[in-house]
Amino acid sequence: MSRFSAIRVIALKAPQSLRPVSRFVPLLVVGLLSACVGLSQLPEIPRADMERMRADVEFLADDRLQGRETGSAGYQQAANYVAARFAELGLVSITGEDYFQQVPLRKALWDPGAATLVLHSREGDITFDLGVDFLAAPSAAHRDSTTTAGLVFVGFGIDAPAYGIDDYAGLDVQGKIVVYLSGRPQHLPNEVGAHFASNRTKQRTAARRGAVGTISLNTPMRELRRPFAASTKHLQDPRWDWLRADETPGNAIQRLQPGVMLDMPAAKQLFMGAARSLDTIFTEIENGLVPQGFSLPDTATLTSSAKHQRISSPNVVGLLPGQDPQLKHEYIIFSAHLDHIGIEPDTNLVNNGAQDNAAGIAVMLEVARLFAAAEHGPRRSILFVAVTAEEEGLLGSDYFAQHPPVAPSSMVANINLDMPMLLYPFRDVIAFGAEHSSLGETTARAARRAGLKLSPDPMPEQVIFVRSDHYSFVRQGIPAIYLITGREAIDSEIDGSHAQIQFLRDHYHRPSDQSDAGINYIAAQQFAEVNYAIARDVADSTQKPRWNQGDFFGELYESGD
Ligand SMILES: [Zn+2]
């Protein structure tokens, strides 16, 4: 019987180590590799403690914590728990006594009257219905605001000279409301496209060009991916932002009227009497063309009315000082979000958030314990950070990345954990961000050491690289990696893809994401060990991580966001 399957049997019956008996072979390879890159001193990967992680998950995902929503008592209990664990592990608090970095937040909710959109056409005013014709969100930047201005259609609203796109070319949008198609031209590479297609990027471009407001348009392509009707369910959702010292929001653009999204039937009215109809423009997209912009005949008025709540919620920060006289002044940020989405409004059930992200926090704590217990401390310093308000827009990590307790230039890498999907013992891992920096090689090397392989992103169309906390660090020019378990189960009876897709369909952001709902702690052990191996490699390597030559994100965020 091959050692391998033997391992499979042993693993399934008893929580034995899953590292393949044949680990000597990869170790031989690693030996050769590490010799040439000066990693020979890398210690053995120590054993991770499943029961310790189970205890952390069960506490954090307990009903008493009420789903750990940002700003809630349950979240504060979770933060106190993580701080106590950090103290237990001997991590240093560099943000004062309590390991807390308070994040000042603003929660915006609709005020009566909410938002209105009126088109002033030659045939008279057309008033659109919120939640039927258009969508809007309460603004964290403005309590009450009104803007009346001319309309200019700007295609997709993208300015990407490196890709030969300037949708504003030849258009004067000074003091205008710009109207742009949601999405992006299909020839842009996935992650680059996601960057330029984001409302954040488009609104910044519009503001930079002098516009005073934005109207994004639903398109047939977007309707297929995310029906307008489905988005109306979130109309009453609050919007959050973190606050600067002067109490202005960190992300919202002050000089822009809060943006709205217009559905297709209503949007056609904006193009009545214009150079081209919206249907013509949709046909151009279908034919792979990039629609050119032009002025629209009418003006419009946008209003928005929101009430603001000021909320403070802590990131929990623990330092493991480096041992190398030089490299200890460089910091690896090991992050995981602690918050979740609280109580389900319709059912009053608790969204316990066991996989999302109590499991990520438990793995982060176990990695910290493995370092604290190691014979040799890391050469570089490591900041373990449990961040708040990830579910509200990556806000805790964004605030930390822009207000770090250490010199910004001393942060050399981010390793992020978010909903690792610990569902079965696995053969491979997926590293979002691996193709952008030397962290890709590091992760492949560490995975090999852990007897695992690195698999490509199975859902590139989801563009996960820009959707979790590591992206807050990428935006500050810091190479980052975000690992999840792969889709190859050790047990060939288990279809990993099916299991992950089923979890995402049935349990993601649902009350059923509970601690007794199939978290596999052998997978947790494997996952903690490979993340430890990555962090150890980054911490002890002579070279610090670097962006790949000519990498889009490396160049885009060279000097921060
Ligand atoms: Zn999450």
Per-residue model confidence (pLDDT) at position 86? 98
Give the rounded percent of residues in the chain with a pLDDT score beyond 70.
92
Pairing of strands 239-242, 100-121: antiparallel
What is the CA(68)–ligand 1 centre distance, in A?
12
Provide the 8-state DSSP code for 66: T
| Of residues 234, 12, 5, 257, the one with CA closest to residue 131 | 234
CA atoms within 13 A on the CB side of 396: 31
* Distances in whole angstroms, Cα of residue 367 to Cα of each of 91, 153, 371, 556: 12, 51, 6, 31
Per-residue model confidence (pLDDT) at position 463? 85
> Which stretches within 488-560 are classed as H helix?
496-506, 521-540, 552-556
CATH number corresponding to 16-92+321-553? 3.40.630.10
What is the CA(282)–ligand 1 centre distance, in A?
35
Q: Are 258 and 137 spatial neighbours (Cβ–Cβ below 8 Å)?
A: yes
Tens-place pLDDT, residues 20-68: 444 444 444 444 444 444 445 566 789 999 999 999 999 999 999 999 9
Per-residue model confidence (pLDDT) at position 113? 76
Instruction: Note if the pTM is more than 0.85.
Output: yes
Per-residue model confidence (pLDDT) at position 40? 52
| Of residues 400, 415, 439, the one with CA closest to residue 367 | 415
The model's confidence at residue 2, banded by pLDDT at 50, 70 and 90, is low
Which residues in the chain are classed under CATH 3.50.30.30? 107-308
What is the CA(429)–ligand 1 centre distance, in A?
18
Residue 219 has pLDDT above 70, yes or no: yes
| Of residues 259, 198, 240, 256, the one with CA closest to residue 103 | 240
When comparing pLDDT for 3 and 407, which is higher? 407
| Of residues 409, 108, 128, the one with CA closest to residue 268 | 128
> Which stretches within 415-551 are classed as H helix?
439-449, 470-474, 496-506, 521-540
| Of residues 370, 335, 371, 537, the one with CA closest to residue 442 | 537
The model's confidence at residue 174, banded by pLDDT at 50, 70 and 90, is very high
Per-residue model confidence (pLDDT) at position 9? 39
What is the CA(337)–ligand 1 centre distance, in A?
7
For 415, the token pair is 């390793």
Sign of CA dihedral 12, 13, 19, 24: negative
What is the CA(473)–ligand 1 centre distance, in A?
16
Per-residue model confidence (pLDDT) at position 78? 98
CA distance 556 to 561: 8
Q: Are 359 and 523 spatial neighbours (Cβ–Cβ below 8 Å)?
A: no
Cβ atoms < 10 Å from Cβ of 337:
30
Residue 10 has pLDDT above 50, yes or no: no
Per-residue model confidence (pLDDT) at position 489? 98
Which residues in the chain are classed under CATH 3.40.630.10? 16-92+321-553
What is the CA(504)–ligand 1 centre distance, in A?
12
What is the CA(353)–ligand 1 centre distance, in A?
8
Residue 69 has pLDDT above 80, yes or no: yes
Tens-place pLDDT, residues 187-210: 888 888 999 999 999 999 999 999
What is the CA(97)–ligand 1 centre distance, in A?
28
What is the CA(219)–ligand 1 centre distance, in A?
28
The string of DSSP letters for 229-296 reads: HHHGGGTT--EEEEB-TTS-BSSS-TTSEEEEEE-HHHHGGGGTTSSS-HHHHHHHHHTT--PPPEEE
What is the CA(355)–ligand 1 centre distance, in A?
8
Interval 6-15 mean pLDDT: 39
Which residues face 318 on adjacent strands?
Answer: 384
What is the CA(419)–ligand 1 centre distance, in A?
5
Per-residue model confidence (pLDDT) at position 429? 97
What is the CA(339)–ligand 1 centre distance, in A?
8
Residue 522 has pLDDT above 70, yes or no: yes
Tens-place pLDDT, residues 278-313: 999 999 999 999 999 999 999 999 999 999 999 999
Tens-place pLDDT, residues 426-472: 999 999 999 999 999 999 999 999 999 999 998 888 888 888 999 99
Residue 8 has pLDDT above 80, yes or no: no
Tens-place pLDDT, residues 306-347: 999 999 999 999 999 999 999 999 999 999 999 999 999 889
The model's confidence at residue 13, banded by pLDDT at 50, 70 and 90, is very low
Mean pLDDT of all residues belonging to the chain: 92
Interval 118-143 mean pLDDT: 96
Q: Are 401 and 125 spatial neighbours (Cβ–Cβ below 8 Å)?
A: no
What phi and psi values does residue 281 have, to the nearest 5 degrees? -65, -40
Per-residue model confidence (pLDDT) at position 504? 93
What is the CA(391)–ligand 1 centre distance, in A?
7
What is the CA(161)–ligand 1 centre distance, in A?
34
The residues near 152 (Cβ < 8 Å, ≥ 6 apart) are 171, 172, 173, 176, 177, 178, 179, 211, 293, 294, 295, 296
Q: Is the peptide bond before 357 cis (omega within 30 degrees of 0)?
A: yes
Give the rounded percent of residues in the chain with a pLDDT score beyond 90.
82
For 37, the token pair is 């890159």
Place of tokens 């493991």: 320
Place of tokens 């993208």: 158
> Rounded to an integer, what is the distance from CA 237 to the centroid of its chain?
19
CA distance 426 to 6: 15
The model's confidence at residue 12, banded by pLDDT at 50, 70 and 90, is very low
Interval 82-107 mean pLDDT: 94
> Which stretches within 125-198 are classed as H helix?
190-197
Residue 274 buriedness (CB in 10 A; 0-12 / 13-18 / 19+)? middle
For 355, the token pair is 């996989």
The residues near 534 (Cβ < 8 Å, ≥ 6 apart) are 415, 439, 442, 443, 446, 481, 483
The domain defined by 107-308 folds into Glucose Oxidase; domain 1 (3.50.30)
